[in-house]
A and B are shown apart, each in its own frame.
Chain A
């Protein structure tokens, strides 16, 4: 039973990160019908920038409390990630808004590669895995029969906070209303005076901010980051978005958490389930299996999709 609680807890932590990234995918898909393949790499950029900030803090202001350092790293990573994502939209996607579906997807893959190449080429980052400093105490906190670290608690708190802020933004503010309008019917929204370009840019920016938070916390949680770290989590987060209902931000949140738990439980129990044939290294498969099942059985996902009527 202890293991079960532990797996659930791990799943919640993992799932929170997936949820943060899934939100970016789902919002962009909602307004543009486009999978921003490079979104996972925005997470990676967030982590890299966070790391650089921490290194700078360490050399100029040694002795700052870990929590403060982390906060600064996150606050510094967010604007950079937003800038990167906005740039991607402007340079790579905007011209292809009316192109056949394959074109922006291929471009997105190219952008993803370029982001990784950029990080690879920078001498202060490079190709090898980079250690991410442990800023918070690693003393385990007991919950039920399971352990959780301060970093993981912070991650859960930040994720919840971010999601609440997003819900507030989408439901209660003018920009949020505009986003929902463009997501439903961009042409009519335009007729009602909504500048869809502004909305799209905002969507990319918000998604990037969430991904940046996820990236820094990923680094803090796993203590190591690398240029290729974003691809697989990105694809899994996309699966989570589909699981929850693409275009639906509540779906992305729920899908992320659910996928995280499925992956965690699956990794824990797969050995028992397959009579020893498959071990926990097969963990990464779950996200894709879930994706295929969802698309085959219930393509609109748990909460139903909300995609623009781009007739």
Chain B
């Protein structure tokens, strides 16, 4: 990692150069990868979404030191909101409302128009994305509020509980009023439409998107959108980190009592951490729903919350480049392995001994255990010590303090 640095405060030229190189690679990648089919770009598309999630969770866990084990709930909120407002689902919702209370049904039709009976609501991406962010932020504050006075491990379990509660609601909120369509989930979610161009490609184009006269596969189009969003996320979280608010988060993480004594309203600052972190999750969720075209409760389980946490922990808690790396490793690697390992096993042994899903879980488990035991600050921790929360048992730290 010595060549690549992103420390703009101390090594501006080197870090901007690193960023430029990385950006160039990222921009060229889909065109190269497309030669080998769509799967590789699709893998990176999902990885980019996970990176956004990891960056959002990094605000809560990394900056503020609040171990949130239910973070995927905000991803779910954004995704289901999109499912409800950009698909035929609202028609089903309306039907159930009408069954329950015809008066309410009429009111909804009056509000949204007659077409919702058959087609549902189809809001544009420009409306849905900010809405997803806002609603998720609201949920962040709601779910964070009861945890404010809890110590570390209790906070973790309570947030885990909230994550589970949200999942259970998503799985069951289809009766009497059909919000989420239960275990089947919501289908036929609109793809993203930007300036009239659908990122899934028009019907009959075999998922090819045409911009001007130039055509590219749909997964590539989404790639560039997600890449842009990722860059925006990195930008925003980095700005937050190096600000008055960011310092307040680190202060709370280091010593909450001292932080209070210095005038920091820890309740509000913690709620802000939850909200800001959640909002990124919500936006990522909206993107996920549109990209995949459907959402179901299985995508939002405890396993997923833990996966995102593993990315933050593996990469470098609190260190944005590290978190991005962790996201790439734990989101892309298992998929890459699946494409490689399963066929290899098939040809060697005639059957698949270890499924990709098992491999994925193995990676997550090993990541968390090995990192915490050997390099608790992560694989790529901040070169600036102030940004390292769990550095107390880091061997490097011990060696350094022996020298000082």
Contacts and interface: CB of A to CB of B under 8 A. Distances in A.
Question: Do A and B touch, yes or no (CB under 8 Å, in the complex)?
Answer: yes
Interface of A: 34-35, 92, 95-96, 98-107, 109-114, 116-117, 120-121, 123, 127, 231-232, 235, 238-239, 242, 276-279, 281-282, 284-285, 287-289, 291-292, 295-296
Contacts of A117: 358, 361-362, 365
What is the size category of the interface that chain B forms with chain A? 35 or more
Given A35-B157, A288-B161, A292-B146, A114 B373 contact: no
A237 to B, nearest CB: 11
A282 B172 CA distance: 8
B176 A110 contact: no
Nearest to B369: A110
Given A100-B393, A107-B373, A282-B168, 12 more contacts: A34-B153, A92-B373, A101-B153, A107-B368, A107-B372, A110-B365, A113-B364, A127-B355, A127-B358, A276-B176, A279-B175, A288-B162
Nearest to A293: B146
B257 interface: no
Contacts, number: 133
B173 to A, nearest CB: 9
A277 B160 CA distance: 24
B368 A110 contact: yes
Interface in B373-404: 373, 376, 389-390, 392-393
Contacts of A99: 376, 390, 392-393
Contacts of A107: 368-369, 372-373
A110 B366 contact: yes
B52 interface: no
| B interface: dominant SS | helix
A100 B150 contact: no
A281 B151 CA distance: 30
Interface centre among A95, A103, A279 (most CB of B within 10 A): A103
B152 A105 contact: yes
A95 B69 CA distance: 23
A1 to B, nearest CB: 28
A100 B175 CA distance: 45
B390 A102 contact: yes
Contact of B361 (A95, A102, A116, A238): A116
B376 to A, nearest CB: 6
10 contacts: A35-B156, A101-B151, A102-B65, A102-B152, A110-B365, A111-B369, A113-B364, A123-B353, A279-B172, A281-B171
User: What are the 10 closest A-B residue pairs judged by CB atoms, nearest first?
Assistant: A110-B368, A288-B161, A113-B365, A110-B369, A114-B365, A107-B372, A101-B152, A117-B361, A99-B393, A117-B362
B158 A288 contact: yes
